[in-house]
Structures are given as structure tokens and as C-alpha cells.
């Protein structure tokens, strides 16, 4: 079937395919367009959903879009999305929520957090009380993680937030009623960073790092040290992401934690290292089969242990924290640190604010000098 596209940027129905729409894209690729599917959850009176399934350039056709729609309709029926007046339990809402979030990188963590809500999942949101939330928080104090350790304060917050998210998710989609009497008081945590190295520790760390014989392991750890990049982001780097002329590293949208493309500066030291690194694959730290050349975590862990850093210091994440801490303690503003760490939310960067106290003191002293006229 030949599809005629109106190039007005609006959604148009596809003839012959119920519930399928298309929209023309302004793209370098000739004649490209997006396909969308729409359907209702909960019968004729239910909520209408409009979902993008892909583009022509990605191999999506009207027939494929229609097949995806049919699959979704079958799956939603297995979740028993029926009469509005039947309020769903937390467990019912989780089934729908988890299906839609299954592709997220953080899905396994979310799934783990859900296991701690077992005492409440048979209740509907309108049946929950603030007392139930208080009991849950109290019980979390005694819970043990899969690593045989007490739950961290941050994990407890994530569990409570997941419950709140599920309730909001259900209310927005008409699966349950809003409960105005329900109040969430999230545990307060001290989010200030302690995983940073002293001058003495940093010197010892750099000296031991130079002794690593594996060129890929040495380069990998140095990038983490000099840029504060996440371990996964470094592992996914390709040679095409490094611009040696403009001196920047391009973080692709699909490989970025916040799902947004970003640029960060390429330090001179790292530029020199990468220029001398063998190019055996399109990836910098993986072979043609996309397997890492070595276990980078093991190298970083051994390095940490050699100089006697605290056990709770995480081999790679401590380098990210250390990068930000060094900048904050040398007077670099939090906005710049946020951009370098590619933090989506500025609140994440405020954990380093207490380290810039010396810089604040210098600023105040400067005012004192200006106001001294004698």
C-alpha cells in the first residue's frame, strides 16, 4: 500500500490500519516519517493512549505499527484493565507500571525496591493510611539487603518514593482514586560526599596507576580520574565520540544516563593517552565482539586496595566524587560542576556545596578589603 504523506508536521490517520497514525519528519533522510499507535485502556470510557513506535528509517511500517498495537491490546487485557469503578491494588498497578518500564536501565533496581513493599501490595491506594507508611519505614530499619547488609538511607528513600510513584501512576491513569489523607514523609539523609581522596592519597593513587601494565585499564581509570565520567559511559565510548580537533567527548543520547546527548571537555592528558591507544575496534575499550578487553573494575579495585583506601570507597564512583570534590574545593561554581558531571538535576550537585566553604570565605574577605578605606 502506497502511503501519501502530508508534510505539515501533523498526525494523520493511515488508511486501512485502525489505530495507526503517521507524521512527516523534517530529516536529512529523504521521505522519513514517524508512526504512532493509539488505543484506549479500560474500554470506550477509558483513557486514550497515543504512543510513538518508530520511524520509517528505523524499519517501521504501517503494518508493523498495527501489529505492535494488537500485541499491546492483548497484553493490556491480560492485566485485566476493566471497569473504572474497580480500584486497582498496588500489585495491579505495579504489573502495568513494570511492563512499561522494563526497558529502563534502572529496571532491575526498581524491581528490587518493589520487593520491600510486599506488606502493602494487596491494598488499594485509597485503603492505605499514613500509619501504613510509618510502619513500612520502621520495618525498613531492620531489613537486610541482598548483600547481607542493612539498607542504606538512600535505598530506603527509593523504596518509599517507588510506592508514591505507583500511587500517582495509578491515579493519573484512572486505576485508583486519589487519597488526600495519605502523607509521605521521606527519610532525611545526609547526601554530602565523603568519598574523596586527600592530597597524600591522591599522590599515592596516581603513582600506583602509572604502574598498571595494561594500556586499556590504565586509560580507562585515567579517564574516570580526569573527567569524572561514569564507568558505563566510559565503557560505551567509541572512537567517533572523541573529537581531537575541538577537544571534546560526545556522550550519545542512547548511552547517557539522563537520555540526553552531552559534550564534555577532553583533557590534554587524556587526549595524549587516547592518541597512543591501539584502535582494534570501533569501541575504545571493547573488541569487535563488544566485549571489554579486560576487567576494568578488578584493576580499579586492586588499585584502591594497594594504597589502603577505606573499604566502603567504590572503585569507580569514588573517582567521580573525587573529581567534583577537587573542583568544588578549588572554587569552581556548582553550575560548572553540574555540567561537567552531566547532572540533570542541580540538587544532585549541591552535595558538593560544603566543600566550597574556603572559596566563600575568600569572597567575604574580598568585600572586607573593598570596604577598607584607610
Do 278 and 337 lie in one domain? The reply is: yes
CATH of the domain at 352: 1.10.443.10
Give the torsion through C-alpha atoms of 237, 241, 247, 248, to 10 deg: -80
- Spatial strand order in the sheet of 262-265: 242-243, 248-251, 262-265
User: Which residue among 49, 78, 107 closes a domain?
Assistant: 78
Cell of 168: 500517582
Q: What pLDDT score does 152 carry?
A: 83
Do 230 and 331 lie in one domain? The reply is: yes
Inter-residue contact 176 to 126 (CB < 8 Å): yes
Q: Answer whether residue 269 is part of any domain.
A: yes
Do 149 and 230 lie in one domain? The reply is: no
| Helix ranges, 145-253 (H) | 153-172, 199-209, 215-227, 231-235
Nearest C-alpha neighbor of 19 from the set 85, 81, 75, 63: 63
Do 204 and 333 lie in one domain? The reply is: yes
Q: Answer whether residue 181 is part of any domain.
A: no
Q: What pLDDT score does 84 carry?
A: 41
Whole-angstrom distance, CA of residue 169 vs CA of residue 36:
22
| Other C-beta atoms lying within 10 Å of the C-beta of residue 196 | 20
Domains held by the chain: number:
3
Q: What pLDDT score does 79 carry?
A: 45
Please give the radius of gyration of the chain, using alpha carbons only, rounded to the nearest integer: 26
Do 316 and 293 lie in one domain? The reply is: yes
| Helix ranges, 81-152 (H) | 90-101, 107-114, 130-140
Q: What pLDDT score does 294 carry?
A: 92
Q: Answer whether residue 186 is part of any domain.
A: no
Q: What pLDDT score does 370 carry?
A: 58
Q: What is the extent of the structural domain holding 43? A: 12-78
Cell of 67: 501489529
Do 289 and 336 lie in one domain? The reply is: yes
Kindly give the confidence (pLDDT) of every residue in the chain, 374 residues in length, as a single tens digit, with 9 standing for 90 and above.
444 556 667 888 888 888 899 888 876 556 788 889 988 776 666 678 888 888 888 888 988 888 888 887 766 654 444 344 478 899 999 999 988 888 777 788 899 999 999 999 999 998 899 999 999 989 998 888 877 888 888 888 899 999 999 999 998 888 888 888 888 887 776 555 567 788 899 999 999 999 999 999 999 999 999 988 889 889 999 999 999 999 998 887 666 565 566 788 898 999 999 999 999 899 999 998 889 999 999 999 999 999 998 888 888 888 988 888 888 877 777 788 788 887 766 666 666 555 555 555 565 566 556 555 55
Do 94 and 155 lie in one domain? The reply is: yes
Give phi and psi for 96, each to the nearest 5.
-70, -45
Cell of 326: 577537587
Nearest C-alpha neighbor of 252 from the set 278, 225, 273, 282: 282
Do 224 and 274 lie in one domain? The reply is: yes
Q: Answer whether residue 373 is part of any domain.
A: no
Do 96 and 74 lie in one domain? The reply is: no
User: Which residue among 172, 188, 222 closes a domain?
Assistant: 172
Q: Answer whether residue 124 is part of any domain.
A: yes
107-114 helix and 153-172 helix, angle to the nearest 10 degrees: 90
Whole-angstrom distance, CA of residue 226 vs CA of residue 221:
9
Q: Answer whether residue 193 is part of any domain.
A: no
Whole-angstrom distance, CA of residue 222 vs CA of residue 326:
15
Do 271 and 348 lie in one domain? The reply is: yes
User: Which residue among 130, 153, 172 closes a domain?
Assistant: 172
Q: What pLDDT score does 363 carry?
A: 58
Q: What pLDDT score does 345 carry?
A: 65
Q: Is the pTM of this model over 0.75?
A: no
Q: Answer whether residue 23 is part of any domain.
A: yes
Nearest C-alpha neighbor of 303 from the set 207, 216, 234, 228: 207
Q: What pLDDT score does 78 carry?
A: 46
Whole-angstrom distance, CA of residue 323 vs CA of residue 265:
14
At residue 117, the 3 state secondary structure works out as helix
Do 168 and 263 lie in one domain? The reply is: no
Q: Answer whether residue 205 is part of any domain.
A: yes
Do 258 and 308 lie in one domain? The reply is: yes
Amino acid at each position: 500500500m502506497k502511503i501519501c504523506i502530508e508534510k505539515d508536521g501533523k498526525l494523520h490517520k493511515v488508511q486501512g490500519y485502525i489505530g495507526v497514525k503517521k507524521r512527516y519528519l523534517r530529516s536529512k533522510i529523504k521521505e522519513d516519517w514517524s508512526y504512532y499507535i493509539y488505543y484506549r485502556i479500560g474500554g470506550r470510557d477509558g483513557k486514550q493512549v497515543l504512543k510513538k513506535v518508530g520511524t520509517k528509517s528505523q524499519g517501521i511500517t504501517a503494518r508493523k505499527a498495527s501489529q505492535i498495537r494488537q500485541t499491546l491490546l492483548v497484553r493490556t487485557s491480560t492485566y485485566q484493565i476493566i471497569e473504572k469503578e474497580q480500584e486497582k491494588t498496588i500489585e495491579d498497578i505495579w504489573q502495568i507500571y513494570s511492563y512499561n518500564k522494563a526497558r529502563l536501565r534502572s529496571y532491575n533496581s526498581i524491581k528490587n525496591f518493589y520487593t520491600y513493599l510486599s506488606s502493602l501490595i494487596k491494598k488499594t491506594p485509597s485503603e492505605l493510611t499514613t500509619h501504613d507508611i510509618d510502619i513500612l519505614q520502621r520495618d525498613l530499619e531492620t531489613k537486610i539487603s541482598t548483600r547481607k547488609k542493612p539498607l542504606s538511607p538512600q535505598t530506603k528513600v527509593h523504596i518509599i518514593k517507588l510506592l508514591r510513584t505507583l500511587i500517582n501512576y495509578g491515579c493519573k491513569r484512572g486505576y485508583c482514586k486519589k487519597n488526600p489523607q495519605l502523607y509521605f514523609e521521606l527519610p532525611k539523609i545526609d547526601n554530602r560526599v565523603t568519598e574523596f581522596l586527600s592530597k597524600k592519597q591522591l599522590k599515592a593513587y596516581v603513582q600506583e596507576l602509572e604502574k598498571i601494565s595494561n594500556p586499556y585499564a590504565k586509560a580507562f581509570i585515567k579517564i574516570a580520574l580526569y573527567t569524572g565520567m561514569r564507568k558505563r559511559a566510559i565503557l560505551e565510548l567509541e572512537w567517533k565520540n572523541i573529537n581531537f580537533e575541538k577537544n571534546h567527548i560526545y556522550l550519545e543520547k542512547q548511552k547517557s544516563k539522563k537520555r540526553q546527548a552531552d559534550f564534555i571537555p577532553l583533557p590534554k592528558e587524556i587526549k595524549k593517552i587516547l592518541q597512543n591507544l591501539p584502535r582494534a575496534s570501533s569501541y575504545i575499550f571493547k573488541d569487535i565482539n563488544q566485549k571489554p578487553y579486560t576487567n576494568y573494575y578488578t584493576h580499579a579495585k586492586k588499585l584502591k586496595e594497594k594504597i589502603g583506601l577505606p573499604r566502603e570507597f567504590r572503585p569507580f564512583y569514588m573517582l567521580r566524587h573525587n573529581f567534583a570534590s577537587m573542583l568544588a574545593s578549588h572554587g569552581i561554581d556548582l553550575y560548572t560542576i553540574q555540567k561537567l558531571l552531566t547532572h540533570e538535576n542541580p540538587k544532585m550537585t549541591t552535595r558538593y556545596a560544603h566543600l566550597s566553604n574556603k572559596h566563600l570565605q575568600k569572597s567575604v574577605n574580598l568585600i572586607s578589603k573593598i570596604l577598607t578605606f584607610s
